[in-house]
Every structure is written in C-alpha cells, then in structure tokens.
Amino acid sequence: MSYAGSPPPPLALRSQVASAHEPSAPSHQSTMDWGDKALARTWKTVGTLCFAIGIVNAFIPLLPTTVFLLLGIWAYGKGDPEMRDRMLAHPKFGPSLRRWVEHRQISRAGKLGACLGMAGSAAGTALLIGNKPIMWAIVLGLTALCAWLATRDEPQD
C-alpha cells in the first residue's frame, strides 16, 4: 500500500508482488488479445457450420459432403487445431480427407462418385430449369469440375 508522500517500495519487492499475481506459464489462449480470440472463434464457427453441413449431406444428398468437410478442416486449422486433428483421425472420413490435405490425392472411386453425383445434379437441373442459358452455364461448370477432378492424382494403394 502506498500513502501520499511516502517513497515507493523497493524494486525487488515490487517484482515479487507482481510475479505473485502472474501465472507461471501463460497458455497460448491467455496470450491472445481479444481480436485474436474473436478471429479464432469465427474460424471455429465456420468450421463447425461446414462440418455440420457435410455430415447432413452424407445422409441427404443435397450438396457435396467432401467439399464441406474439407472447408471445415481448413477453418478448424485456423481456429481449433485439435478439432482438425480429430476430423483427420475419423475412421470413416479421415483417410480420404488426409490424402487430400497431405498429398492432394483423390481415389478413383471418389472421383467416379463425385462425377456421377454431378451428372445427376446436371440432369436434375436440366429437368427443372429447362433449356435456358443458366442451365447450360451450370452444366458447363459441373463438366469443368469433373474434368479438374479427373486430373487429380490418385493414391498408390
């Protein structure tokens, strides 16, 4: 305690008092400022949303599953590395996700499934929209994506 007009305590005493109130080994989380924490929470939220959409689409084929899982892994890598590691270690999805993350490889069965799914989407779009320019743009985009997928490396199993 300091009183008006009294000299400050010695430096050694001030450092002892200060060190008594500080943690001995600050964690990574405690060394982050509020902006870094907010950004990490944002990336974690994006990862969670993408992961949830990917899991739902594994059972309801509205959107591609793998794309959302890959987006989730990317976002978790920025906001929650532990969750990213859990996703990469998943018994069902982990091996194919790891092949993509580590080697940018897609299995032949994965390529075939993706292209067949896109062909089905193109056919459904053509039936729903009809012969309009937007339908041809969608078909062209899906065809380009299938061509790109076909050129990706395959694992040497």
pLDDT tens, position by position, 24-73: 545 455 567 888 889 999 999 999 999 999 888 888 766 778 788 889 99
Q: Is residue 125 part of a domain?
A: yes
pLDDT for 4 equals 52
Helix, strand, coil fractions of the chain, as percent rounded to 5: 70, 0, 25
Same domain, 119 and 67: no
Q: Which helix (H) or strand (E) holds 26?
A: none
Same domain, 96 and 142: no
Q: Is residue 5 part of a domain?
A: no
Q: Which of 104, 119, 136 is the last residue of a domain?
A: 104
Q: Is residue 19 part of a domain?
A: no
pLDDT for 2 equals 47
Q: Is residue 14 part of a domain?
A: no
SS3 of residue 105 by DSSP: strand
Same domain, 85 and 51: yes
pLDDT for 8 equals 52
The residue segments making up the domain with residue 136 are 106-157
Same domain, 94 and 61: yes
Domain count, the chain: 2
pLDDT digits (tens, 9 = 90+) for 84-135: 999 899 998 889 889 989 999 999 998 998 899 889 888 988 999 999 999 9
pLDDT for 13 equals 44
Going by C-alpha positions, the residue among 79, 77, 83 that lies closest to residue 101 is 77
SS3 of residue 153 by DSSP: strand
Instruction: Decide: pTM greater than 0.75.
Output: no
Angle 94-103/81-88 helices, nearest 10 degrees?
A: 110
Q: In which residue are the tokens 């056919």 written?
A: 123
CB atoms within 10 A of CB 116: 11
Same domain, 98 and 42: yes
Q: Is residue 13 part of a domain?
A: no
Q: Is residue 111 part of a domain?
A: yes
Residue 11 confidence (pLDDT) above 90: no
Same domain, 93 and 128: no
pLDDT for 15 equals 45
